[in-house]
Amino acid sequence: MTSGSQDSTTMADTKTDPDLVALLGSRLCHDLVSPIGAIANGLELLELTDGASEEIALIRGSVQAALARIAFFRLAFGKASDDAVVSAREVRDTVDAMYRETRTTVKWLDQDDRPRSELRLACLALNCIEVATPWGAVVEVSRNPNAWLFHVDAKRLKIDAPLWQGLGRGDLPSDLQGSEVQFGILARDCRRLRRPISVSADDTHLSLLV
C-alpha cells in the first residue's frame, strides 16, 4: 500500500503533467474579472448621470481593491508559462493597489522585469507573509542573483511555528487550511525547482528567502 502510494505521487509530480491548481487559479481569475469589471463600468455610468457621491466612491474603492487582488492572485496562483515576462512596473502597480487600503506597506525594491514563473514564487511568499501580519507590517521585497528576499518589520507578528517550519522543510502540517494553501503551493513549487526556503522569525521580525 505504501509503495503504491509513493509510486503514484512520483508519477503525478512530473513536469509533463498539467498543473491543475494553476489552471484552476487562472480560470477563477478570468471568470471573476468580467463581472467585476462590469460593475466598474456601471459605476462610471452612474457617476455620469447622477454625479459622484460618497456611496459610489465607497463601492468604487471596493471594486478597485477586488480587481487588484484578482490581478495579484493571477500572478500567485495562475498558470505561469516559461517564456512570459512581467515588467517591474506592472508588479509594483499591482502590489501597491492590493495593499493600498490595508495596514501593510509593501516596498517592492526589485527593478528588473522577471519571468512570470519567478514572480509566482514572490507573490506566493507575500501571500504567506499576510498570514503572519494580520495587524499590519512593513515588508521589503528584494532580489539577489539566486533568490527573493523578504524582510518584515511589525509591532507584532502571528507566527504559526509548525506552518513556517514546515515551509522551510517542505513538510507541511497535514491539517493545512484553505487560507494557508499558499504555503503548500510555494513549498511544492520550490521543491520542484530545487530552490531552498529559509525562514527566521521572532515576535516582530521575519526574514524569508525563497
Q: Tens of pLDDT along 99-111?
A: 988 999 999 999 9
Domains in the chain (CATH in brackets) are: 1-79 (1.10.287), 84-210 (3.30.565.10)
pLDDT at 175: 84
> What pLDDT is stored for residue 8 in this prediction?
38
CA distances from 30 to 74, 131, 145 (A): 8, 25, 32
Average pLDDT estimate for 191-204:
92
pLDDT of residue 82: 67
pLDDT digits (tens, 9 = 90+) for 136-191: 999 999 999 999 999 999 999 999 988 998 887 767 888 888 889 899 999 988 98
Give 108-128 as a DSSP string. E---S-EEHHHHHHHHHHHHH
Residue appearing with cell numbers 495593499:
99
Host H or E run for residue 104? strand 104-108
pLDDT at residue number 198:
95
- pLDDT tens digit string along 11-44? 344 456 667 667 666 667 666 777 777 777 777 8
Residue 201: the pLDDT is 94
Residue 122, C-beta contacts closer than 8 angstroms, at least 6 positions apart: 114, 141, 148, 210
Q: Determine the pLDDT at residue 15.
A: 53
* Spatial separation of the C-alpha atoms in residues 98 and 64, rounded to whole Å: 9
pLDDT in tens, 37-91: 777 777 788 777 777 778 777 887 888 888 888 889 888 888 877 678 999 999 9
Compute and round to an integer the Cα radius of gyration of the chain: 19
